[in-house]
Structure 1
Amino acid sequence: MTTRSEKPRSLADFIDRHFQWLALAPAALFLLLLTVYPVGELIAMSLSTITFERASEIWQFTPAENFRQLLDDDIFRIALKNTVVFAIISVLIELAFGLVLAILVSSAGKAKAILRTILIIPILMPPVAIGSMWKLMYSLDFGVLNQAVTLVGLQPINWLGSTSLALLSVVIVDVWHWTPFVFLILFAAVEAVPGDVIEAARIDGAKNRTIVLRIIIPLIWPTLLVAMFFRTILAFKVFDQIFLLTSGGPGTSTEVVSLHLYKVYFQQNDLGYGSMLSIAVIAATIAFIWVAHRAGRFVRAI
């Protein structure tokens, strides 16, 4: 016959045996509610046409229609091309600048802490403030950049109003904003490079260029890949800078995927097709990460 004292004991034994699962259960439930359910809802929306009548939703199962609309969407193809170009150019420049800054600051001695603090200021600024500040700087009439251009005898440049310069102008803002992020990641990796290895290379007569190319970069290569992955994903989702600076113009020269999604969802109120676009973007991002990861492993093997 089971006594009262045995019941609490059996409960305690059960908790001890399954403690790891019981500890993970709240986090797993939280993840399920905030991640899995919204993704499932997004997939269901992408297969439907959603309309609103009399303050209620009307769902119609139309996966073929949404997919056909995706294939026929010329603006999406332009936005995807602009997004890829923007991501490649901005990430490559940020990786190069971030690596150079990390190496220079790492060798700055006592000024290291001050330089690091100054360099991270751009990533601490709100995106709205950054967009407003750079829009004023790019102004055709009174922007500081055009004032500098006119000082050397050139005509003012329509930075944000030219179809050939608008995307490059946004890239410049992105590089200014996110290079400090890459710098912080790479700075930690450069600081972790063993000093005796570099000193031994110097004793053997290695120049600075050789040390960077043959020692520092191979040792921090995994960190470089991580920085590239993070920045590419964030660059692929760029929205605030373009929305504040150009709103996708002039024409569609700076139209990007996130901005197109915003217009489909909130201006056209097409929730079904907007969800289909979201699924396409998620699939493209996953494909890029897989390809980049495989390419990174191949390059590292070489």
Structure 2
Amino acid sequence: MTTTIKRTRPLSDFVDRHFFWLALIPAALFLVLLTVYPVLELVAMALSTITFEHAAEVWRFSAADNLQQLIDDDIFRIALKNTLVFALVSVIIEVCFGLGLAILVSSAGKAKGALRTILIIPILMPPVAIGSMWKLMYSLDFGVLNQAITAVGLPAVNWLGSTSLALLSVVIVDVWHWTPFVFLILFAAVEAVPGDVVEAARIDGASNRSIVFRILIPLIWPTIVVALFFRTILAFKVFDQIFLLTSGGPGTSTEVVSLHLYKVYFQQNDLGYGSMLSLAVIAATLSFLFVAHRAGRFVRAKDA
């Protein structure tokens, strides 16, 4: 019995000393399998031209050709501009609306639970249902929006068929869909603000406007930044709403990078150039996050 304990003790001691690293091994392997390997595969595809010959993949190195195709791709430049406009406008509106709703619902007393439940309904709906519903509402002939407009004597509006209105129409759908997500994040932050701080400000004679802009917003500013980051990343990857509503049209007025990627991959079957586009999108997203992070640090340092 004594001999058995002596033989097993070194293994037990080794596990105790290195338990932290041993516990990380499964997670690290999982990360490598599902993240690192696909990224390396994407890079390899971006440097190649991939064709299918005799039921087999044929890879040819063509990094310079793919890069030149990216530089010459006019549609990608249009899609990138549309994506930036879409993300900037929709996220700013969603954060403003979400913050306003969070403050209003937080002060609603006993009704806040019911209001919160009603407001989160849009984010629970499937994107296909949202796209179909809004496409019917935007219909030029029998949509409810045009029926309301023509009822007051105004001409019908071609919401999805006009090059000047199509992107704005998609932004409206995105705001309706994702404002509740921002609201939930900011509502939790507003609820976490100590009530005695607000009451003390009211006793000192602060107006509601002063309480919001000088107390609430500074206290929940880190949460607002998190909401901005999350929504900007998701907005930059928008696909389903535009695919269902306009498919990038009319013309290229609502073409976005995700939709352009889809067309390159699955319609043109150009896997190599599609991978190069993917790397360009990843680089653009990381660049935005870096700039936004530096700007956030500058603002915090300036306030301090």
Output the TM-score relative to the length of structure 2: 0.98
Supply the AA of the counterpart residue of 1:12.
S
What is the SS of the residue equivalent to 2:59? Answer: strand
Deviation at 1:299, TM superposition (A): 2.1
Partner of 2:279: 279
- Deviation per CA, 1:163-183: give whole Å up to 9, x if none: 000000000000000000000
Partner of 2:12: 12
Deviation at 1:20, TM superposition (A): 1.0
Query: Is residue 233 of structure 1 aligned with residue 237 of structure 2?
Result: no
What is the SS of the residue equivalent to 2:140? Answer: coil
What is the SS of the residue equivalent to 2:35? Answer: helix
Supply the AA of the counterpart residue of 2:126.
P
Supply the AA of the counterpart residue of 2:89.
I
Deviation at 1:296, TM superposition (A): 1.6
Query: Matched residues in 2 for 1:223 and 1:230: separation?
Result: 11
Supply the AA of the counterpart residue of 1:50.
I
Deviation at 1:192, TM superposition (A): 0.8
Partner of 2:165: 165
Supply the AA of the counterpart residue of 1:148.
A
Query: Is residue 110 of structure 1 aligned with residue 110 of structure 2?
Result: yes
Deviation at 1:85, TM superposition (A): 0.1
Partner of 2:27: 27
What is the SS of the residue equivalent to 2:95? Answer: helix
Partner of 2:61: 61
Which ranges in structure 2 are unaligned for 5 or more consecutive residues?
A: none
What is the SS of the residue equivalent to 1:57? Answer: strand
Note the aligned Cα RMSD (angstroms): 1.0
Matches within 5 A, 1:1-302: 3-300=3-300, 301-302=302-303
The range that moved more, 11-20 or 87-96, is 11-20
Deviation at 1:4, TM superposition (A): 4.0
- Deviation per CA, 1:228-262: give whole Å up to 9, x if none: 00000000000000000000000000000000000
Query: Matched residues in 2 for 1:150 and 1:119: separation?
Result: 29
Query: Matched residues in 2 for 1:67 and 1:7: separation?
Result: 61
Supply the AA of the counterpart residue of 2:105.
V
Supply the AA of the counterpart residue of 1:189.
A
Deviation at 1:5, TM superposition (A): 3.2
Supply the AA of the counterpart residue of 1:44.
A
Query: Matched residues in 2 for 1:200 and 1:117: separation?
Result: 30
Deviation at 1:194, TM superposition (A): 1.1
Query: Matched residues in 1 for 2:5 and 2:215: separation?
Result: 65
The range that moved more, 31-40 or 291-300, is 291-300
Query: Matched residues in 1 for 2:49 and 2:150: separation?
Result: 53
What is the SS of the residue equivalent to 2:110? Answer: helix
- Deviation per CA, 1:39-79: give whole Å up to 9, x if none: 00000100111111011111111111100000000000000
Could you list the runs of 4 or more consecutive aligned residues of structure 1 that deviate by over 4 angstroms after TM superposition?
none
Deviation at 1:195, TM superposition (A): 0.8
Output the TM-score relative to the length of structure 1: 0.98
Supply the AA of the counterpart residue of 1:159.
W
What is the SS of the residue equivalent to 2:155? Answer: coil
Deviation at 1:3, TM superposition (A): 4.4
Supply the AA of the counterpart residue of 2:39.
V
Which ranges in structure 1 are unaligned for 5 or more consecutive residues?
A: none
Query: Matched residues in 2 for 1:61 and 1:15: separation?
Result: 46
The range that moved more, 236-245 or 26-35, is 26-35
Identity %: 82
Supply the AA of the counterpart residue of 2:45.
M
Supply the AA of the counterpart residue of 2:104.
L
Query: Matched residues in 2 for 1:26 and 1:128: separation?
Result: 37
Supply the AA of the counterpart residue of 2:145.
L
What is the SS of the residue equivalent to 1:5? Answer: helix
- Deviation per CA, 1:178-200: give whole Å up to 9, x if none: 00000000000001111111111
Deviation at 1:88, TM superposition (A): 0.1
